Structure formats: C-alpha cells, structure tokens
Amino acid sequence: MTPAAHPVERRVGHPGPQSVAIPAAMVQAMIDHARAEEPNEACGLVIGDRAAADGGRALRWVPCRNRLASRYRYEIHPEDLLRLTIETEDADETFWAIVHSHTHTPARPSPTDLAQAFYPDALYILVSLADEETDAASGVPSLRAWRIVDGRSFEVELQVVTGTGASRRTMRPVDAVPLALGLAALVVGTAFGWDARLVDAVVGPPAAARAALVALAVIGGLGLLAAGLRRMAARDGGEALGSVDLGAMIGGVRLVFLGVASLAAAVGWLAGHPLPLVIALIIAGVDVVETSFLLLVVRGRRSA
C-alpha cells in the first residue's frame, strides 16, 4: 500500500534527514485511524529508538485522542501524551513522529501546525483525506512527512517498506544495567547482614549523620512513592485506548517498592537496628531485578 504520490519539495537549508523508511503496515494504520476519526482531525505518535533528526527508526504507531474533537485543529489528549512520555522515557525511546490528519486540505503544515510544532527533532506526518489529494487509481490518501524547525517546514521523503525489519529495536548492553544494580544490592544486603563490624558502622553513625540519613531516606521514600503512583495512574490513558501500558505500570511498581525500601531504611537508622536496613537492601534488590527482567521482556516483545 503506497500513499498518493507527490513531488517531494526540496528547500535550501534542509536540516535532514532527506528521507526515512517507514513500514507499510504503519502507514496503513495511520490512514485507517484518520478515516475512523472523520469528520474530525485524527492524531497519534510514532515511537522510535532515536529522534528522526538523529537517524532513528520508527518502532511503532500509537493512535491518540484529539482533545479538541475538531475538524480544523488537533491536540493530543494530555492523558495520552503523559502516558506515552513516561513509556518512552522508561524504554529509552523517543517521539519519532507526530501524526495528524487534514480532512479537506493538502498534507502540508498549516500556519497553526507551524506555530505549534514543539518537537523540532521529530517528523510531522500529515494524512490528507481531501478528495483532490487522493490517488485516483488506488483511492489511497496523501501522506507526507515534514521537519518543522524555527517555523519553517522541510519535506522528508517517506520510503514505504514492507515487512517489519525497519522497526526492530535491538537490545543493548545498557538495557541490562538496572538488572546488574539489583543483583549488586542483593549481594551487598547479604554481606551486610553477616558482617558485625559493618553493621555497627552503618547502624550507629554520629547523631547528626543519623538525623540526616533519616531525613534523606524519608524524603526520598515519599518522593519515590508519589512518582511510582503517578506512573501507575498514567496507564488509565492506555486502557481508554484499549491497551494497558505495561512499561509504565512496571516502572511505577519499581518506584513504589524502592520508596518502601527507602522508608524501611529510615526506620532502621531511627531505631538503631540493622534488620530494617537489611530488609531495605533486599527489597530494593529483588524489586529492581524483577522489574528490570519484566521490562526487558516487554521491550523484546515490542521489537518482535
């Protein structure tokens, strides 16, 4: 399936890239979403491994809700934007393209689109459902991509490819770093519990140091709990779109348990007893190991 063809505009000072590859199935999904949202403008995001400006690849398409429900303007619903921002940050991904439709005008940025282009490193993909923009032979709408930088638009050629090879994300060694840190916490917690001198040094610091450690642990614990609950709440937007955001939910669970571990450490220093500190290290280690493994599985499945 190939969108209606148009000559690609070439402008002096093009910031690049000149062209990008995008899976045909992703293009079809964008067009289907645009048609489903008629007569209003549709919108969504393409998630990538890096920004399009940095040579990143398109990984997946995520349809979003148009908060304005308008024929002439769009705004990605704040709940959807928050959910996807958290998800991409957790997965070390980014917004590769912002997509929306024009129902009666060409697939080129309008003055409003230019003024509200807040992601200069991303592509802006437009789907035009206007009759005059549709390919007469196939009936396929026009779909064009642009970089919008400093209020100027530069067209980027879309090379539609079959299969999923263009959207695969390879697992990198850095993805295993949290897993290694979790294992290290388990080892440290075990060693700490068996070394009496280390226990005495950690549990019984000077009064000023102990007060500072308690304060930091309480503040950090409460902050982690709040952040974790916010991330878990962000999955509501995913459910509204018919999918549960596993990445954000797992990341939220990780932060909640790290918050519990931090508060347990505060209890240990406050009471001058080693047991809560050992428990804190074990909770943190098990939590990070388990959630890191689950996130690796989720990211692997997305790459399949």
Stated as kind and residue range, the H or E segment containing 179 is helix 177-194
Say if residues 198 and 192 touch (Cβ distance below 8 Å): yes
Say if residues 15 and 53 touch (Cβ distance below 8 Å): yes
Question: Mapping DSSP to helix (H, G, I), strand (E, B) and coil, where does residue 252 land?
Answer: helix
Q: Domain map of the chain by residue range?
A: 19-167, 173-303
Residue spans of beta strands (DSSP E) within the chain? 19-23, 43-48, 58-64, 94-102, 123-128, 142-149, 152-161
- Compute the distance between CA of residue 158 and CA of residue 147 in angstroms, rounded to an integer: 12
C-beta neighbour count of 9 within 10 angstroms = 14
Instruction: Give the neighbor-by-neighbor strand order of the sheet with 152-161.
Output: 19-23, 152-161, 142-149, 123-128, 94-102, 43-48, 58-64
Cα–Cα–Cα angle for 297, 86, 63, rounded to 5 degrees: 85
Cα–Cα–Cα angle for 236, 103, 28, rounded to 5 degrees: 65
- Each residue's pLDDT, cut to its tens digit, for the chain (304 residues) gives 555 455 555 567 788 899 999 999 999 999 999 999 999 999 999 999 999 988 899 999 999 999 999 999 999 999 999 989 988 888 889 999 999 999 999 999 999 999 999 999 999 999 999 988 887 777 789 999 999 999 999 999 999 998 654 444 455 555 566 767 777 777 776 676 666 677 777 777 888 988 999 999 999 999 989 888 877 765 444 433 334 456 677 878 888 999 999 999 999 888 888 888 888 888 888 888 888 777 777 666 555 5
- Compute the distance between CA of residue 273 and CA of residue 181 in angstroms, rounded to an integer: 25
Range 19-167 classified under CATH 3.40.50.1820: no
pLDDT of residue 174: 53
Task: Give the tokens for residue 97.
Answer: 């393209």
**pTM greater than 0.85:** no
Say if residues 198 and 58 touch (Cβ distance below 8 Å): no
Q: Provide the residue count of the chain.
A: 304
State the DSSP code for 175.
G
- Compute the distance between CA of residue 237 and CA of residue 80 in angstroms, rounded to an integer: 5
pLDDT of residue 173: 56
Torsion of CA 159, 163, 165, 166, to 10 degrees: 30
pLDDT of residue 152: 93
State the DSSP code for 65.
-
pLDDT of residue 193: 60
Question: Mapping DSSP to helix (H, G, I), strand (E, B) and coil, where does residue 202 land?
Answer: helix
- Compute the distance between CA of residue 90 and CA of residue 154 in angstroms, rounded to an integer: 31
pLDDT of residue 243: 43
Task: Give the tokens for residue 16.
Answer: 């690049």
- Least Cα distance to 231 among 86, 98, 127 occurs for 86
